[in-house]
Amino acid sequence: MRELNQQEIEQVSGAGFIADAAATVGYSFGSIFDMGLKLVGVDVGKQSSEAAQTIGRGIGMVIETSVNVFSTVFSNMFKRS
């Protein structure tokens, strides 16, 4: 059995550019929400940031999977024999 390279690991794990970008956007929104809560005197630590990051990553993975499925379907439809 051979060792996987970085690209193959990311494909298997489901990690990719869209999921990472969505996680970063989610974390940013969560951080803003955390700061807003601190301004009104509620300290929740980084719970909102981490929850938003998880939601963002999930949404990104759904989008990424959809893009991969459509790309595979269309490439197989128009593949020349």
27: CB partners within 8 A, 6+ apart: 49, 50, 52, 53, 56
* Closest alpha carbon to 52 in 25, 73, 76, 20: 25
17: CB partners within 8 A, 6+ apart: 64
pTM: 0.70
Query: What are the pLDDT digits (tens) for 17-75?
Result: 888 899 999 999 999 999 999 999 988 888 889 999 999 999 998 998 888 888 888 88
Q: Give residue 15's pLDDT.
A: 61
